[in-house]
């Protein structure tokens, strides 16, 4: 994790709200805070070598793997959204999405697939997916790829800014990679969820799954919809299920038409705290 990422994750929101004197103070102490936390950063793990000593992980359930690698997609995890120096070993309730994932992933876990997670953060879910899908290539995309702490022959870390359609096109669409599973777990902002789904849907293989985590964030959190235009993605999906028309300033007609013509199913589930949408392509 570089200094820019450290500031962005843990201090940018404080800096914006601070008074002039407080900003001056933060500017002085931040380099020292970063230097101290640097010693608590976990070293990059080579999953190829790790798998040799931990081959039994290839036979574990997805929920086990999410908890083992500390992904918040499982039932429990250690809070990973605190500065490295403040990380403890206390497990708290996670999103509990693993049961929904297991239902759709188990029948295809031994296939050769391309799997993309947008919003990979430390890469903990990518590590879990590496062991669950033992023949698949795992791509972890994030605005801060320097945080990604895993490497392997079947794992690749990418940069993408899900807030920017141009970034999505440049870093994902233009690479000409077709994916079988795309998991959107990035900013959860209203606009970002919409453009990620509709503009990445064409690079999803037929029969593939597009999954949107924390679908309800723009509905329940004002900061996730500030300065964005309704409807949010949840209401768009509900409109489609009810066979009602919808319009969004973030989708052009060609993209909208492609999505509607190639959509097979939409299912929305409630995890331990938030909602998840599982969308399948024809």
Confidence of residue 282 (pLDDT cuts 50, 70, 90): very high
**Domain shared by 140 and 32, yes or no:** no
The yes-or-no verdict on residue 11 having pLDDT over 80 is no
What is the longest distance spanned by two Cα atoms in the chain?
58
**Domain shared by 32 and 52, yes or no:** no
Distance CA 218, CA 172 (A): 24
Distance CA 140, CA 130 (A): 11
CATH of the domain at 219: 3.40.50.150
Q: What is the 3-state secondary structure (H, E, C) of the chain?
A: CCHHHHHHHHCHHHHHHCCHHHHHHHHHHHHHHHHHHHCCCCCCEEHHHHHHHCHHHHHCCHHHHHHHCCCCCCCEEECCCCCHHHCCCCEEECCCCHHHHHHHHHHHCCCCCEEEEECCCCCHHHHHHHHHCCCCEEEEEECCHHHCCEEECCEEEEECCCCCHHHHHHHCHHHCCCEEEEEECCCCCHHHHHHHHHHHHHHEEEEEEEEEECCCHHHHCHHHCCCCCCCCHHHHHHHHHCCCCCCCCCCCHHHHHHHHHHEEEEEEEECCCCEEEEEEEC
pLDDT of residue 267: 97
- Domain extent, residue 254, equals 45-281
The yes-or-no verdict on residue 9 having pLDDT over 90 is no
Structure tokens at 16: 């914006």
Confidence of residue 17 (pLDDT cuts 50, 70, 90): confident
Per-residue pLDDT tens digits for 52-109: 999 999 999 999 999 999 999 999 999 888 888 888 889 999 999 999 999 999 999 9
CA 278-73-156 angle, to 5 degrees, is 85
pLDDT of residue 204: 98
Structure tokens at 71: 């992904």
pLDDT of residue 58: 97
**Domain shared by 98 and 8, yes or no:** no
Share of the chain above pLDDT 70, in %: 100
Backbone angles phi, psi at 123, to 5 degrees: 90, 15
Backbone angles phi, psi at 280, to 5 degrees: -110, 140
pLDDT of residue 10: 76
Per-residue pLDDT tens digits for 96-130: 999 999 999 999 999 999 999 999 999 999 999 99
pLDDT of residue 40: 82
pLDDT of residue 21: 83
Q: What is the pTM of this model?
A: 0.93
pLDDT of residue 80: 83
**Domain shared by 29 and 100, yes or no:** no
Contact present, 99 and 46 (Cβ < 8 Å): no
The mean pLDDT of the chain is: 93
**Torsion (CA) 277, 226, 198, 215 in degrees, nearest 10:** 0
pLDDT of residue 224: 85
**Total domains present in the chain:** 2
pLDDT of residue 139: 97
**Domain shared by 219 and 265, yes or no:** yes
Beta bridge partners of 175: none
The yes-or-no verdict on residue 184 having pLDDT over 80 is yes
pLDDT of residue 213: 97
Structure tokens at 129: 């997916």
The yes-or-no verdict on residue 4 having pLDDT over 80 is yes
pLDDT of residue 206: 97
Confidence of residue 16 (pLDDT cuts 50, 70, 90): confident
For 72, counting Cβ atoms within 10 Å of its Cβ (0-12 exposed, 13-18 middle, 19+ buried), the class is buried
Per-residue pLDDT tens digits for 272-281: 999 999 999 9
CA-based R_g, the chain, Å: 19
**Domain shared by 140 and 197, yes or no:** yes
**Domain shared by 132 and 102, yes or no:** yes
pLDDT of residue 240: 97
**Domain shared by 63 and 162, yes or no:** yes
**Domain shared by 73 and 211, yes or no:** yes
pLDDT of residue 249: 95
The yes-or-no verdict on residue 13 having pLDDT over 80 is no
**Domain shared by 140 and 272, yes or no:** yes
Per-residue pLDDT tens digits for 206-232: 999 999 999 999 999 988 898 899 999
**Domain shared by 22 and 60, yes or no:** no
Question: What Cα–Cα distance (Å) separates residue 25 from each residue in 19, 171, 250?
Answer: 10, 37, 40
Structure tokens at 48: 């190829």
**Domain shared by 63 and 194, yes or no:** yes
């Amino acid at each position: 994790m570089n200094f820019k990422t450290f500031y962005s994750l843990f201090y940018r929101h404080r800096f914006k709200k601070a008074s002039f004197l407080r900003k001056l103070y933060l500017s002085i102490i931040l380099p020292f805070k970063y230097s101290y936390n640097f010693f608590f950063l976990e070293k990059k793990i080579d999953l190829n070598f790790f798998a040799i000593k931990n081959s039994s992980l290839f036979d574990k359930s997805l929920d086990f793997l999410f908890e083992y690698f500390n992904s918040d997609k499982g039932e429990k995890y250690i809070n990973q959204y605190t500065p490295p120096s403040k990380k403890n070993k206390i497990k708290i309730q996670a999103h509990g999405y693993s049961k929904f994932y297991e239902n759709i992933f188990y029948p295809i876990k031994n296939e050769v697939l391309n799997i993309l997670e947008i919003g990979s953060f430390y890469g903990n879910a990518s590590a879990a997916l590496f062991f669950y899908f033992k023949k698949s290539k795992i791509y972890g995309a994030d605005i801060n790829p320097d945080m990604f702490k895993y490497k392997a022959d079947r794992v690749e870390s990418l940069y993408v800014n899900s807030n920017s359609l141009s970034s999505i096109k440049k870093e994902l669409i233009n690479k000409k990679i077709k994916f079988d599973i795309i998991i959107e777990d990035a900013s959860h902002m209203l606009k970002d969820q919409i453009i990620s789904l509709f503009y990445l849907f064409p690079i999803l293989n037929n029969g593939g799954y597009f999954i949107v985590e924390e679908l309800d964030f723009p509905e329940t959190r004002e900061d996730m919809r500030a300065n964005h235009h309704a409807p949010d993605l949840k209401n768009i999906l509900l409109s489609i299920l009810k066979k009602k028309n919808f319009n969004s300033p973030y989708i052009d007609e060609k993209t909208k038409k492609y999505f509607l013509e190639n959509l097979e199913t939409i299912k929305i589930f409630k995890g331990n705290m938030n909602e998840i949408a599982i969308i399948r392509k024809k």
